[in-house]
């Protein structure tokens, strides 16, 4: 069975965690192995890098007042992503699991190349090198006005969440621009809808993704069987001792 890689994106507070959990439960009920992970922080190394990057309330790094330069920030995110793919994502995909990640490459493009105003090509190239070019088959962008989304948060704001309204608005627009450039991979869903409505849209699309993957597997199996039959027939027609 072919593994599937799915990501969820959007500004903080749009409800990614809720929908990730619903998708995990749905796929596990259908008999699939599901690996749920996140960026930054999907590995032991990533957990340490997450503390550096986000400086959640109470972190020692938060108290020292030092900031992270935009290029350094992009490099730390790329290091987290490289370890995440090598340790968690690729091994799971290779054994046929569905991997669902809360944030991936698009978050770096939106936050570092959008919110931080770095060069998008540099950020993309760095992460593509770090991951060996691995991209999700589907990305669900839960879109919502950042001000409204921020009111949903049930914890103290971390370093990214407290970066200011202008930063959050730029980041949201960067996500939408990314989706516009890759309509085949992205599905943009209004996160202001009720939770059930958001889930129904995701469920319908996931069912279509699974159906397409199954069709591709059948086609590949048929092609392999046809090639094996041709090879067998060719071997059977070869005179003993080899061709003369």
The answer on whether 203 is annotated among ligand-binding residues is no
pLDDT of residue 35: 98
CA pair distance 189, 200, nearest whole angstrom: 11
pLDDT of residue 209: 96
Residue 155 scores a pLDDT above 60: no
Backbone angles phi, psi at 36, to 5 degrees: -100, 130
The answer on whether 147 is annotated among ligand-binding residues is no
The answer on whether 13 is annotated among ligand-binding residues is yes
CA pair distance 81, 97, nearest whole angstrom: 19
The answer on whether 16 is annotated among ligand-binding residues is yes
Residue 242 scores a pLDDT above 60: no
What is the pLDDT of the chain when averaged over all its residues? 86
Domain 4-236, what architecture? 3-Layer(aba) Sandwich (3.40)
Minimal CA–CA distance to 104: which of 13, 20, 10, 167? Answer: 10
Give Cβ neighbours of residue 237 (< 8 Å, ≥ 6 apart): none
For residues 153 and 16, which has the higher predicted lDDT (pLDDT)? 16
The answer on whether 12 is annotated among ligand-binding residues is yes
Residue 100 binned pLDDT confidence (cut-offs 50, 70, 90) = very high
CB–CB of 68/41 below 8 Å?
A: no
Residue 62 scores a pLDDT above 50: no
Per-residue pLDDT averaged across 63-91, rounded? 85
The answer on whether 11 is annotated among ligand-binding residues is yes
How do strand 34-38 and strand 4-9 relate by DSSP bridges? unpaired
Residue 244 binned pLDDT confidence (cut-offs 50, 70, 90) = very low
pLDDT digits (tens, 9 = 90+) for 172-230: 999 999 999 999 999 999 999 999 999 999 999 999 999 999 888 888 888 888 888 88
pLDDT of residue 236: 73
For residues 36 and 219, which has the higher predicted lDDT (pLDDT)? 36
Domain layout of the chain by residue ranges: 4-236
């Amino acid at each position: 069975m072919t593994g599937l890689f799915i990501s969820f994106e959007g500004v903080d507070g749009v409800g990614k965690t809720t929908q990730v959990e619903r998708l995990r439960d749905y796929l596990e009920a259908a008999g699939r192995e599901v690996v749920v992970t996140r960026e930054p922080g999907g590995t032991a190394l990533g957990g340490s890098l997450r503390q550096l990057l986000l400086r959640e309330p109470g972190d020692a790094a938060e108290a020292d007042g030092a900031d992270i330069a935009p290029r350094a920030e992009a490099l730390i995110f790329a290091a987290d992503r490289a370890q995440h793919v090598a340790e968690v994502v690729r091994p799971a995909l290779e054994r046929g699991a569905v991997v669902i990640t809360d944030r991936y490459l698009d978050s770096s493009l939106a936050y570092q190349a959008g919110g931080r105003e770095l060069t998008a090509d540099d950020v993309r190239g760095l992460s593509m090198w770090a991951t060996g070019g691995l991209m999700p088959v589907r990305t669900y962008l839960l879109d919502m006005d950042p001000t409204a989304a921020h009111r949903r948060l049930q914890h103290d704001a971390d370093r990214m969440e407290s970066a200011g309204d202008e930063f959050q608005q730029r980041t949201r627009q960067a996500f939408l621009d990314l989706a516009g450039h890759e309509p085949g991979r992205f599905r943009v869903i209004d996160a202001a809808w009720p939770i059930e409505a958001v889930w129904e849209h995701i469920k319908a699309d996931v069912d279509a993704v699974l159906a397409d993957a199954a069709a591709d597997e059948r086609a590949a199996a048929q092609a392999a069987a046809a090639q094996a039959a041709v090879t067998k027939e060719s071997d059977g027609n070869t005179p003993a001792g080899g061709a003369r």
